[in-house]
Chain A
Amino acid sequence: MLELIALTKTIGDRNLFSALSLRLEAGGFVAIRGESGTGKSTLLNLIAGLESADGGDVRLNGNSLAGLDDDARTRWRRDHLGFVFQAFHVLPHLTILDNAVLPLRLQGVGSTQARAAAQSMLESVGLGVRGAGWPGELSGGELQRLAIARALVHRPTLVLADEPTGNLDPENAQRILALLAQQVRTQGAMCLMVTHSSQAAAVADRVLTLENGRLCEA
């Protein structure tokens, strides 16, 4: 279970959140919508420990993020989180399989086991035969499939998706969203997705709107 407890964040003289709270049960898929600049991405960064909140806490399955140092936050991300970004963010000098296997290698999983798991994950996102290729050979939709495989290969508790379809055409976007939702549910993970798109939000179990520093049911 993910709990956001009275999170506050100020950037410069702008108060992004004050006492923002949320509970997300295991297996839940939540979409957060909001205007540009309302702090959607910042919220994901706070949950990931990439930015620090001014107050409040983030708890995942009862483990608190507050008070963790940088190394512990790094381990937090490595062990519990998966990411899908709008800009895909794959490493161009690694093969498709090596990109997918990366989270497992960071966890110290043995090479053979990790590669088998990553290959299986690539197959489940439809890239099974492309593992030996390079990211430069993939289309935008395929890159995002790779990103989804990488986000889920290590069976994270929570997947954070930041505008995962922002760089895709509508047809590809729908396919990717369906794939993401299916994979998240198959694994029993939670997913928190930030999006502008109402169509994208439609795949979620629950849609929230971030407005004036508060999350409201849409």
Chain B
Amino acid sequence: MMRLIFSLFVAGLSRRRLASILSFIAIALGVALGVAVNLVNRSALDAFEHGVRVISGEADMQIIGPRQGFDEALYARVARLDSVEVASPVVDIEAPLADKPGSLRILGLDLLRAARIQPGLSPKLDSTQASESRFAADAVFLSSAAMRELRLEPGQTLRVKVGLAIRDLRVVGTLHGGEDGARFGLMDIAAAQLTLDQLGRLQRIDLRWAEGVAPSQARAQLAGLLPPGLTLVQPEAAAMQAAALSRAYRANLGMLAVVALATGAFLVFASQALSVVRRGAEFALLRALGVSRHMLLTGVLAEGAALGLLGGLAGLALGFLFAGVALRVLGGDLGAGYFSDAPTALSFDWPTSLVFVALGFIAAVAGSAWPARAAVRAAPAPALRSGYQPSVPKLPTRRRLGVGFLLLAFPLAAIPPLGGLPVAGYLAVVCVLVGAIALLPALARRLFAHLPAMQAIVFDLARQRVAGASGQAVIASGGVLASVALAVAMAIMVASFRDSVDAWLDRVLPADLYVRAGRIGQAGGLDAAAQMALERMPGVARVEYVRHEQIRLPGSVLPLSIVARRIPAEGAGALFPMQAEQRVAAGDTPIWISEAAQDLFGWRPGMAIELPFGGVYRSFKVAGVWRDYARQNGAVLIDLAVYRRFNADALATDAALWLAPGASAENVSAELRQRFGAALDIVSAGEIRRSSLALFDRTFAVTYALEACAVLIGLFGIAASFAAAVAARKKEFGMLRHLGLTRGQIGATLACEGALTAGLGVLGGLAAGGLIGVLLVRVINRQSFHWSMDFSIPWLSLLGFSLAMIASAALAARLAGAQAMREGALRAVREDS
């Protein structure tokens, strides 16, 4: 029976070549995008996890704290505990490179002790180096990836910035275990503390429990020793942190790929639905000859299954190819900046890749379900009569269903995220799409019934055709609606986001010049002398300092960022876009939390919270919520004086410089370079703005590619529908040619029909896309990244896009019809069929 089904149905796909190929491509593209996005993300996470494993080795637990480190005296206390077999102190610094942009992670380990915890991370001294140089203050071992990327060899010098100084490190050898992409350097801990200005400080202690000790017992013993701000985590926490930060981004890209696949399902639906109508007489004959309804249903579904299976497998191969290219061109985070180490090879995540193949299969079968049902329900007798003309039935108007789905989106949008992902938000998007498509037949009837008659015969014929066969227009425009809705929603979200980031940058970059002497986790900063030198610099009228830091809260995988700067008398609202700012009572210490901190930690304005500063829990009152597009993991703004009081830390990481009237930024920059050398990064507000927006655009580059694919698939839908419809209308065209219409006029009629059909989809897509845009801006983006934004609609871009889409659809319809018109339309009226 399977062979019969194959020969009667599946083999027929080759007869409808254009529609079949376009459906196949649509499914393959959708699957490929999903597979590629997943593979690239998996590769990046695997590379990151591998790096973490190499560096953490066989540690059972790690003690971590603020990025600036903690007192090394803790190490001696921890190492003496019965429950701890090995304790390995770690200096972990991100050192900015002096000669080139970027930085290098440098670990300082007790090289003898670390071999017991990180046996895979063995430094190999180069044969040219003396054996005692292993422990020299300037000796560094580099991983293969670092060696390769920095183009260094043993014996050469690595120059890094440490605060305002530049230190030369001598490359003395390589690291075994660091071959697979992790880019880092290793020093003896004493050398690292001395050279990287970390004397008396550690960033981490790696621990291995003594044999026979229950981990819970060991943890309990340790907990009493840890001062506030230090926490005990599993070595996988860093990988979990990277995964947690990038998860929403990855999930959103995955969703975009799924929407592209759904658009592919519409294409399969459109071509199958029209093909079923066209094959009405054929199916009726089969029914007359004894083909059961079940077999007919199976046959049409088998056609979809064949398309889905072939498209899915091709998509799998294409996905691997896309992933390889994307990894090379955009990096492991697809341009989003989540991972500093680029993976060197693709990780083949077969289970998830096969899930996408299965989704492609399901999409194609689902796209064939309604046509199969329609084929089974069609009465065979009329189709067997001579002169039978197949026509698409008017599709039922499901107004209530459509409105119901649209209304359902509202309560779904109000549901909080599940596991950090906006699952209900995604469902709300699905509801809007389904609702809009359910309302499409009603929109088609209303729209086409009110189209005015025109003098131009070409347009009028097209108008009457789409009005008379609105079912076909609805079927063809479903895919257009889905793809336009996606593109419009993304355009609104990106415009809203970009405009908001632009306005935010305006607000947070009020000064003329910015200097930076270290980022979070990087060594050093602007000390008191440097600060005084800055303030006395000719041409500088005013200087404001910022201290960036990260602290750890108990039970949280993600670190909390601290932004310490002087809060003006008028409040922190003068520095950042602020909501619900309130004055705190005298005696209370105010802090201002970012929206991410509000979402992640559940803090609210007026709430009293405790944060670990300087090894002690300090009480604060939340005085407002600010918009922060720079950090996704939550941040707290605190007055610089308060921070310094609590931390005994007078360093500043950044300084904002306002120039005196008449002073030029170039001159001041030149003087700063002369005074501080390459140790200081000096940038203008304009440069920061440009690089921030460039990063923003790079982040969204992949989403543009995904949207473009969805739009292309939507256009394929129009082409496939028209190819199918035109083949069934040869007699009509032959008759029109007899009546005196030229080939060109018939082509123009087809183009008008394509434009009207796409116009229907575009109108629906604009409306649905607008609603989805609101969901993306207000719900999905907020829940994914914890960033609010102002709503912006890029009217001009949307208008241009809509017109381009309609014009492309007209062209696609015209091209799809060209072949059918070439095949003797004049003869068609005389043919008996």
A residues at B contact (CB < 8 Å): 41-42, 45, 48, 50-51, 70-71, 74-75, 77-79, 81, 83, 85-89, 91-94, 98, 102-103, 105-107, 140, 150, 162-163, 166-167
B292 adjacent to A71 (CB under 8 Å) = yes
A87 adjacent to B386 (CB under 8 Å) = yes
- What's the least CB distance linking B823 to chain A, in Å? 12
B425-456 interface code vs A (CB 8 A; 1 in, 0 out): 00000000000000000000000000000000
B386 adjacent to A167 (CB under 8 Å) = yes
A103 adjacent to B386 (CB under 8 Å) = no
Contacts of A103 in B (CB 8 A): 289-290
Identify which of A92, A98, A163 contacts B7 (C-beta below 8 A). A98
- Identify 20 residue pairs between A and B in the complex whose beta-carbon atoms are under 8 Å apart, listed by A's number: A41-B381, A48-B288, A71-B294, A75-B290, A77-B289, A77-B290, A78-B290, A83-B288, A86-B386, A87-B281, A87-B387, A89-B281, A89-B384, A93-B12, A102-B289, A105-B4, A106-B289, A107-B290, A150-B289, A166-B386
B833 adjacent to A87 (CB under 8 Å) = yes
How far does the alpha carbon of A13 sit from the alpha carbon of B832 in the complex, in Å? 32
B15 adjacent to A45 (CB under 8 Å) = no
- B293 at the binding interface (Cβ < 8 Å): yes
How far does the alpha carbon of A11 sit from the alpha carbon of B287 in the complex, in Å? 22
- B291 at the binding interface (Cβ < 8 Å): yes
How far does the alpha carbon of A163 sit from the alpha carbon of B386 in the complex, in Å? 9
> Which B residue's beta carbon lies closest to that of A42?
B381
How far does the alpha carbon of A14 sit from the alpha carbon of B212 in the complex, in Å? 94
Pick from B288, B293, B380 the residue with the most CB of A within 10 Å: B288
How far does the alpha carbon of A106 sit from the alpha carbon of B290 in the complex, in Å? 7
Contacts of B285 in A (CB 8 A): 83, 85, 89, 91
- B693 at the binding interface (Cβ < 8 Å): no
B292 adjacent to A74 (CB under 8 Å) = yes
Identify which of B8, B287, B384 contacts A91 (C-beta below 8 A). B8
Known: A93-B15, A167-B832. Contact between A50 and B386, CB under 8 A? no
A87 adjacent to B388 (CB under 8 Å) = yes
How far does the alpha carbon of A94 sit from the alpha carbon of B3 in the complex, in Å? 13
- B282 at the binding interface (Cβ < 8 Å): yes
- B11 at the binding interface (Cβ < 8 Å): yes
Contacts of A98 in B (CB 8 A): 7
Contacts of A74 in B (CB 8 A): 287, 290-293
How far does the alpha carbon of A81 sit from the alpha carbon of B285 in the complex, in Å? 13
Contacts of B287 in A (CB 8 A): 50, 74, 77
> Which B residue's beta carbon lies closest to that of A166?
B386
Question: In chain B between 463 and 481, which residues have their CB closer than 8 angstroms to a CB of chain A?
Answer: none
Known: A74-B292, A87-B833. Contact between A106 and B386, CB under 8 A? no
Contacts of B151 in A (CB 8 A): none
Contacts of A50 in B (CB 8 A): 287-288, 379-381, 384
A77 adjacent to B288 (CB under 8 Å) = yes
- What's the least CB distance linking A16 to chain B, in Å? 13
Contacts of A91 in B (CB 8 A): 8, 282, 285
Contacts of B7 in A (CB 8 A): 94, 98
How far does the alpha carbon of A62 sit from the alpha carbon of B7 in the complex, in Å? 35
B277-300 interface code vs A (CB 8 A; 1 in, 0 out): 000011011011111111000000
Contacts of A150 in B (CB 8 A): 289
- B822 at the binding interface (Cβ < 8 Å): no
B104-118 interface code vs A (CB 8 A; 1 in, 0 out): 000000000000000
- B385 at the binding interface (Cβ < 8 Å): yes
Identify which of A86, A87, A92, A106 contacts B15 (C-beta below 8 A). A92
How far does the alpha carbon of A77 sit from the alpha carbon of B8 in the complex, in Å? 18
> Which A residue's beta carbon lies closest to that of B290?
A78
B803-833 interface code vs A (CB 8 A; 1 in, 0 out): 0000000000000000000000000000011
> Which B residue's beta carbon lies closest to that of A41?
B385
The 7 closest A-B CB pairs, nearest first, are A78-B290, A86-B386, A45-B381, A89-B285, A167-B832, A50-B381, A87-B386
How far does the alpha carbon of A189 sit from the alpha carbon of B502 in the complex, in Å? 85
B832 adjacent to A87 (CB under 8 Å) = yes
B384-422 interface code vs A (CB 8 A; 1 in, 0 out): 111110000000000000000000000000000000000
- What's the least CB distance linking A103 to chain B, in Å? 6
Contacts of A79 in B (CB 8 A): 290
How far does the alpha carbon of A162 sit from the alpha carbon of B387 in the complex, in Å? 13
Contacts of B8 in A (CB 8 A): 91, 94
Contacts of A51 in B (CB 8 A): 379, 381
How far does the alpha carbon of A88 sit from the alpha carbon of B282 in the complex, in Å? 11
Contacts of A75 in B (CB 8 A): 290, 292
> Which A residue's beta carbon lies closest to that of B388?
A87
Contacts of B379 in A (CB 8 A): 50-51
> Which A residue's beta carbon lies closest to that of B296?
A74
How far does the alpha carbon of A83 sit from the alpha carbon of B290 in the complex, in Å? 11
Contacts of B289 in A (CB 8 A): 77-78, 83, 102-103, 106, 150
Known: A77-B288, A87-B832. Contact between A93 and B294, CB under 8 A? no
> Which A residue's beta carbon lies closest to that of B279?
A91
How far does the alpha carbon of A106 sit from the alpha carbon of B388 in the complex, in Å? 25
Contacts of A88 in B (CB 8 A): 832
How far does the alpha carbon of A50 sit from the alpha carbon of B289 in the complex, in Å? 11
- What's the least CB distance linking B85 to chain A, in Å? 74
Contacts of A77 in B (CB 8 A): 287-290
> Which A residue's beta carbon lies closest to that of B281?
A89
Contacts of A166 in B (CB 8 A): 386
Contacts of B385 in A (CB 8 A): 41, 86-87, 162
- What's the least CB distance linking A195 to chain B, in Å? 12
Contacts A75-B290, A77-B290, A87-B833 supplied; 19 other A-B pairs, CB < 8 Å: A41-B381, A50-B381, A74-B287, A74-B293, A77-B289, A83-B288, A87-B385, A87-B386, A87-B387, A87-B832, A89-B384, A91-B282, A102-B289, A106-B4, A106-B291, A162-B384, A163-B386, A166-B386, A167-B832
Contacts of A45 in B (CB 8 A): 381, 384
- What's the least CB distance linking A12 to chain B, in Å? 14
- What's the least CB distance linking B556 to chain A, in Å? 63
Contacts of B291 in A (CB 8 A): 74, 106
How far does the alpha carbon of A77 sit from the alpha carbon of B805 in the complex, in Å? 49
Contacts of A106 in B (CB 8 A): 4, 289-291
> Which B residue's beta carbon lies closest to that of A163?
B386
- What's the least CB distance linking B5 to chain A, in Å? 11
Pick from B7, B15, B285, B294 the residue with the most CB of A within 10 Å: B285
How far does the alpha carbon of A92 sit from the alpha carbon of B293 in the complex, in Å? 21
- What's the least CB distance linking A153 to chain B, in Å? 11
How far does the alpha carbon of A94 sit from the alpha carbon of B833 in the complex, in Å? 16
Pick from A87, A92, A150 the residue with the most CB of B within 10 Å: A87
Contacts of B832 in A (CB 8 A): 87-88, 140, 167
How far does the alpha carbon of A48 sit from the alpha carbon of B381 in the complex, in Å? 10
Contacts of A81 in B (CB 8 A): 288
How far does the alpha carbon of A60 sit from the alpha carbon of B489 in the complex, in Å? 63
> Which A residue's beta carbon lies closest to that of B282?
A91
Contacts of A86 in B (CB 8 A): 385-386
> Which A residue's beta carbon lies closest to that of B16?
A93
How far does the alpha carbon of A199 sit from the alpha carbon of B828 in the complex, in Å? 29
How far does the alpha carbon of A150 sit from the alpha carbon of B288 in the complex, in Å? 12
> Which A residue's beta carbon lies closest to that of B383?
A89
How far does the alpha carbon of A88 sit from the alpha carbon of B832 in the complex, in Å? 9
How far does the alpha carbon of A167 sit from the alpha carbon of B386 in the complex, in Å? 9
A85 adjacent to B4 (CB under 8 Å) = no
Contacts of A163 in B (CB 8 A): 386
How far does the alpha carbon of A45 sit from the alpha carbon of B380 in the complex, in Å? 9
Contacts of B380 in A (CB 8 A): 50
Contacts of B11 in A (CB 8 A): 93
B598-624 interface code vs A (CB 8 A; 1 in, 0 out): 000000000000000000000000000
How far does the alpha carbon of A71 sit from the alpha carbon of B387 in the complex, in Å? 28
Contacts of B12 in A (CB 8 A): 93
How far does the alpha carbon of A91 sit from the alpha carbon of B284 in the complex, in Å? 11
Contacts of A105 in B (CB 8 A): 4
Question: In chain B between 258 and 289, which residues have their CB closer than 8 angstroms to a CB of chain A?
Answer: 281-282, 284-285, 287-289
How far does the alpha carbon of A42 sit from the alpha carbon of B380 in the complex, in Å? 12
Contacts of A162 in B (CB 8 A): 384-385
